[in-house]
Amino acid sequence: MAKFVYRMQNILAIKEKLESQEKIAYSMANARLLEEQEKLQQLLVRRAGYESQLKELSTGRLDLKQIQTCKRAIDSLKSMIRDQMIAVHTAQRNLEMARKRLNEVMKERKTHENLKEKAFESFKQELAAEEGKVTDELVSYTYYDKDSDLE
């Protein structure tokens, strides 16, 4: 019995390796985005804390030094939040690019898998045709032997 050998198996193996690498890159980009979003969330919570502290300082006995310190902290946090939003946006773009690369590599791998399946189907048809030929030859040989025995 003949064995099926896909002649471009090495290319398919390379495509599968590339896909696994892109999956890793995508997961790393996703982790980076989640990390940046978590940092942003922490900064927003800190700013809300400072703003509530500023409200408390504004009521009752006024301490201008603490109020000014609190306002400076809020201003610096606003700047940090702006920078962090930029970092989150960059991480989102990187994640989108990684997703596009992953989709492209997956398409290429699927294409090669489809080619392999078509080659295997062709191989099966050739094998069936070959078996049919052998059967026909065997039947005609048997029929020819019977005719020669009768004479």
Lowest-pLDDT range of 2-11, 58-67, 84-93:
58-67
Domain of 137, CATH number, reads: 1.10.287.1700
Q: Is the predicted pLDDT of residue 147 greater than 90, yes or no? A: no
Residue 31 falls within a domain, yes or no? yes
Cα–Cα dist 124/122, whole Å: 5
Question: For a pLDDT cut of 90, what percent of the chain falls above it?
Answer: 72
Residue-wise pLDDT for 83-126, tens only, equals 999 999 999 999 999 999 999 999 999 999 999 999 999 999 99
The reported pTM is: 0.75
In a domain, 133, yes or no: yes
In a domain, 3, yes or no: no
Range(s) of the domain holding residue 92: 9-150
User: Looking at the domain assignment, is residue 117 inside a domain?
Assistant: yes
pLDDT at 60: 76
Q: Is 116 part of any domain?
A: yes
Spell 10-21 as b/e; 16+ CB within 10 A means b.
Answer: eebeebeebbee
Domain count of the chain?
1
113 and 12 Cβ atoms separated by less than 8 Å: yes
pLDDT class of 145 with cuts at 50, 70, 90 = low
Q: Flag whether pLDDT at 151 surpasses 60.
A: no
- pLDDT tens-digit map of 34-52: 999 999 999 999 999 999 9
